[in-house]
Structure formats: C-alpha cells, structure tokens
C-alpha cells in the first residue's frame, strides 16, 4: 500500500474517532495501535507500553501540573477583582477607556496562569459584566477578550511551551524568555486596535465622567502588588537562573497559596476545588500527550514522517513559503483539534523538515504558539470561543465574527517575527539558560 493511501486512511480513521466523541488521547492511541498492527512488524502492545510510560514519566513535564494548579488557585481567589481595581484608574483617558482592561488584565494574568482558557474565563468574569453595565458595546468587549485571552499561551509561564519544549527537546526556560517580547508586542497590537476603533467610533464608548487624581491612582495600584510579586517570583527565578521551570512552578504554587491566604480567600473549599481541578485538567493533557507520542512512534515505524519531509522538501519551498504553508496547516488543523494535540501530534512529522530548512527551533516554538493562538479563536473547536459562549450565551458564529480582528492581528504578529526574528531570539541570547 502506498504512503499517501496509508496517510489518508490514518487521517480518516482519526477524524472518524474524534467525530464520534471518543476522547482525543484514546483516539490517537487507537489509530496508532491499528497502524502498528497493520503496517509494522513490531508488537503494538510492547511499543504502546514503553512509549506511554516514557511520555508520562518525563521530569520536565512535572512543571505542567504545577502551573495548572497555580492557575486553579488564582482562578478561585480575588485576584481578578483586585487587578481590575488597580488598573481601571490608569486607563480612563485612553481612547477605548475600560476596554483596555481586557488586554492589560489578560496580559498580567497570563503571566501567572499559563492557560488561555483560564485567562479568558477569569478576566471575562470580571470585565464583561462591568463593561456591559457601563454601556460599552458588547461586540468589541467580547472580541477583544477573545484575542487577549490567547496571551495565556504566549506570555510565560505557558503550558503549551512546556509541551513543545518536551516534544522538540528545546529548553523550556529559553522558550519562556523568547515569549516575553512577542507577548508584549501582541498585547500592544490588541490595545492599538482598540485605540483605532475608539477613534473611529467616538460615540460608542461612554465618556469619562470624572478624572482620578494621581494620588488616587497610586492608592488603587496597591491592589496590583500581589500579582506583580507572584510574577516576579515565578519568572524572576527562571530568568536569573536560580530555578528551573519545574522548580519555578513549585514556587508559583506556594506563592499562589500565600497570595490567596493574604487575601483571606483561601478557604478549605477553595483549596480542595483547586487540588481536584488541577489533576483533572492535567490528566486530560497527559492522556493526549501519551496517545500522541504513541502515534508519533507508529508513524515513525511506518516511515511517514521521513516520506512527508522528503515530499515537502521536493516541493522546493523557500523557508518563508514553508512557514506560510505550516501556518495555514495549523490554523486548519486547529478547527478540529486543541492546541496541545496539534503540537504533540505534528512535531514528529514537522520538525525534520523545519530543521532541514534551517529554521531555529526556538523561533519555531514561538511561531507554533502564535498559530495555535489563532486556532483558539477559530470555530468549531476554538477553546476561547467555547469559554465566551458559555459566559455570554451568544451564538458561536457571532462570537467568531467579533474575534476576527484579533485573528488578523495574530497574522500580523507572525509576519513581524518572521521579518524581525530578533523579537524572539534576542532576549534568550542575552540570558543563556538551560
């Protein structure tokens, strides 16, 4: 049987299982099992046991459940409310005014959560009701939140960066550092769009009714101290080389517990909910990682990655054309799979081609995060769209239309890091970490 036909059969089997509602991790493992049994001489059971154990027992992966737990703790505390109170006075005269709380709030919370969905949900619970009560247009409020929520994937600590670092054998600390400047750049693009939109629709945003004195702004800023201190603890320990990503994640959990205890929002119920919520989310992720690792092994035995890489190489694509093709590929794939599945499922196939094209794997990691962010706001499987639909009750198609400007801004960000790769590589080069 020819390689294209084998590939087509495996893809059809995978999408059939996913479409039938089978868990993603089990669907990946099931397709891998069939591939190993039919097209490989190695016993499928032995290969599955070894691969799943190896994928699940990585020490580097320990950072993932810890960052998830940290986000769960903060999700259930007064962090979002305090953050809004600290930010609002500083942006009352900026065009778009309180709409910028979506961008700034998501940027700050992304630096302590690592999850796009958690960032979107936490900030949305706080800002959307308040913006609606103040008369802000619902469309631009929801659209800006959909885009800004994706910053949870790019601004470190990022769960998907940990997954990419493990699968691509790239330093997670370096990936975290590489995401800082692109994350700030993307947040600036989102805020810049809000400024332009507000200037083009001067009557859509409620006028400022009062001016807050500088002393009052400074007094309100004290509410930002806990989250800023937590960010400094987590990221500072990584950037200074004091801690690895895993150790920094442990610092983050301890810091989150301390913050919630200081806020007097750390009840026994809060602790138990966070302690049970984090393993549920991590086990889902770990199951996907294990299934995808087994599928990657099966594809390797069949020889599909090698043949696919050879086919792409035979097309004679320039590095830029390759990046454009991969961006389109990931956006389309993101219509059916979540970001973590996309990364672990495709890296074994894509990385040899990327390396052959001379593309830096550190740069490529940030590129992958950006295109996965696009997938977070594209239907039908856009996680941020699901979150916003559950919060607002709005139709998915309507929410996707409101998120379209954010999608286009993400495209702009991809072009910017391509033409100016130093946006990704300069800061890691200044801070050599393992």
d(CA 118, CA 160): 13
State the residue range of the domain holding 279. 3-430
Give residue 405's pLDDT. 92
378-412 per-residue burial string, b: 16 or more CB within 10 A, e: under 16 = beebbbbbbbbbebbebeeeebbebbebbbebbee
Query: How many domains, in total, are found in the chain?
Result: 1
Which portions of the chain are predicted below pLDDT 50? 434
Give residue 242's pLDDT. 82
Q: In sequence order, what DSSP letters do the residues of 178-243 get, joined into one string?
A: HTHHHHHHHHHHHHHHHHHHHHHSTTTSPPP-----HHHHHHHGGGGHHHHHHHHHHHHHHHTTSS
Q: What residues contact 259, with CB distance under 8 A and at least 6 apart?
A: 74, 77, 79, 226, 227, 229, 230
d(CA 154, CA 367): 10
Give residue 80's pLDDT. 59
Site of tokens 């690895």: 244
Backbone angles phi and psi of 423, in degrees to 5: -60, -30
Question: Helix and strand tally (H, E) in the chain?
Answer: 23, 0
The pTM assigned to this predicted structure is: 0.73
Percent of all residues in the chain with a pLDDT value above 70, rounded to a whole number:
85
Give residue 195's pLDDT. 92
d(CA 324, CA 186): 19
Give residue 335's pLDDT. 67
Give residue 415's pLDDT. 94
d(CA 235, CA 302): 42
**Are the C-beta atoms of residues 91 and 104 closer than 8 Å to each other?**
yes
Q: What residues contact 85, with CB distance under 8 A and at least 6 apart?
A: 220, 223
d(CA 374, CA 368): 10
Task: Give tens-digit pLDDT for 96-140.
Answer: 778 888 888 888 777 766 667 667 776 777 778 778 877 888 889
> What's the Cα-to-Cα distance from 326 to each of 52, 155, 312, 364, 391, rounded to whole Å?
27, 22, 11, 11, 32
């Amino acid at each position: 049987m020819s390689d294209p036909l084998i590939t087509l059969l495996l893809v059809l089997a995978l999408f059939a299982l996913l479409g039938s509602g089978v868990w993603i991790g089990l669907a990946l493992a099931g397709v891998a099992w069939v591939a190993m049994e039919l097209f490989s001489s190695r016993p499928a059971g032995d290969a599955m046991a070894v691969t799943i154990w190896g994928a699940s027992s990585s020490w580097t992966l320990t950072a993932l459940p810890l960052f998830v737990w940290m986000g769960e703790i903060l999700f259930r505390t007064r962090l979002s409310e305090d953050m809004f109170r600290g930010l609002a006075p500083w942006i009352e005269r900026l065009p778009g005014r309180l709409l910028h709380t979506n961008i700034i709030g998501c940027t700050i919370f992304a630096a302590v959560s690592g999850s796009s969905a958690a960032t979107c949900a936490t900030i949305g619970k706080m800002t959307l009701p308040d913006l609606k009560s103040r008369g802000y247009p619902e469309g631009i409020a929801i659209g800006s939140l959909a885009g800004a929520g994706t910053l949870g994937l790019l601004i470190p600590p990022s769960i998907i960066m940990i997954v990419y670092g493990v699968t691509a054998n790239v330093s997670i600390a370096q990936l975290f550092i590489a995401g800082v400047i692109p994350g700030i750049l993307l947040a600036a693009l989102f805020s810049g769009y809000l400024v332009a939109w507000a200037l083009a629709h001067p009557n859509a945003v409620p006028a400022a009714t009062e001016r807050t004195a500088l002393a009052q702004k400074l007094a309100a800023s004290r509410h930002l101290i806990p989250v800023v201190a937590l960010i400094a603890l987590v990221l500072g320990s990584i950037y200074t080389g004091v801690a690895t990503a895993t150790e920094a994640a442990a610092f983050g959990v301890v810091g989150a517990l301390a913050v919630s205890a200081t806020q007097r929002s750390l009840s026994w119920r809060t602790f138990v909910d966070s302690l049970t919520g984090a393993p549920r989310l991590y086990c889902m992720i770990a199951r996907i990682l294990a299934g995808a690792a087994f599928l990657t092994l099966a594809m390797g035995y069949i020889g599909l990655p090698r043949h696919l890489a050879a086919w792409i190489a035979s097309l004679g694509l320039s590095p830029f054309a390759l990046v454009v093709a991969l961006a389109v590929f990931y956006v389309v794939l993101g219509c059916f799979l979540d970001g973590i599945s996309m990364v672990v499922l495709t890296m074994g196939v894509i990385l040899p081609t990327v390396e052959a094209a001379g593309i830096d794997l550190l740069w490529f990691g940030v590129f992958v995060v950006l295109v996965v962010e696009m997938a977070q706001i594209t239907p039908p499987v856009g996680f941020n769209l699901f979150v916003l639909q559950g919060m607002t009750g709005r139709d998915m198609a309507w929410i996707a239309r409101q998120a379209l400007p954010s999608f286009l801004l993400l495209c702009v960000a991809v072009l910017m890091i391509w033409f100016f790769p130093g946006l990704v590589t300069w800061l890691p080069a200044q801070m050599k970490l393992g």
